[in-house]
Amino acid sequence: MTISVAPPAPAPAVAAPALSPVDRVSGVIFGLIMALTFTGTLSVATADRNEVRDMLIGALGCNIAWGLVDAVMYLLATLTERRRNLAILREVQSRPGAGRVHQLIADALPPVIASTMEPAELDVIRARLERLPVPPAASLALGDFRAALGVFLLVFLATLPVALPFAFIHDAHRGLRVSNGIALIMLFAGGYYLGRHAEAHPWRTGVATLAAGVLLVWATIALGG
């Protein structure tokens, strides 16, 4: 975790991506699950075009709403994190003792990295933090709103591959099979990507994500979601 507290601070030489790979895949999977809760309740034996149309409207409307919720929560989480980082920076600069400051710095680092840090190394970080200018307040920048838009689009656009087959295939039974096939491929692909990102077993992660997604859809439908 890097202690960067506000947009006015100098930007790093190499900017980190606004959304991590995990954030991107999570948004797509969430959108898929929400869409599948609608397509999974469609009765293909009795469905007519009006019911299919209502299902499409419901799926798109639901994912628009949840995309907005996710985008707002992303902004709130980003602002909260910056405020926390600002509070840590102020405390580091205002405390004369090393013990508490070392603990604050260690808590702000990933656990694996913090476990390797010696007191002298923490002192180096402390000295650099003490030289940083303290911004008056934590705030959101234009890039944060772009990232929030990305969160919204990920959730919303994940609906389209699952819902659109019903718009072009008039046979509801066939449309459902095509829709489910696309959803299964996307769930597996999302898990495979996460597995590669984590340098784990991508095929196993893909299958596990696929199974978890199917179970979540089933549980959501069973609970009336």
pLDDT in tens, 155-202: 888 888 888 888 788 777 788 888 888 888 999 999 899 888 888 889
Residue 157 lies in a domain: yes
Range of the domain at 56: 21-78+140-222
Are 155 and 29 in contact by the 8 Å Cβ rule? The answer is no
Are 67 and 151 in contact by the 8 Å Cβ rule? The answer is yes
pLDDT higher than 80, residue 134: no
The total of structural domains in the chain comes to 1
pTM, two decimal places? 0.74
Residue 110 lies in a domain: no
3-state secondary structure (DSSP) of residue 23: helix
Residue 111 lies in a domain: no
What residues have CB less than 8 Å from 143, skipping those under 6 apart?
7, 18
> Rounded to the nearest 10 degrees, how much is the dihedral formed by the CA atoms of 62, 157, 149, 12?
140
Residue 209 lies in a domain: yes
Residue 10: band (very low, low, confident or very high) from pLDDT cuts 50, 70, 90: very low
What residues have CB less than 8 Å from 200, skipping those under 6 apart?
none
Residue 176 lies in a domain: yes
Q: Mean pLDDT across the chain, nearest whole number?
A: 81
Residue 68: band (very low, low, confident or very high) from pLDDT cuts 50, 70, 90: very high
Q: CA-CA distance, 102 to 190, in Å (whole number)? A: 39
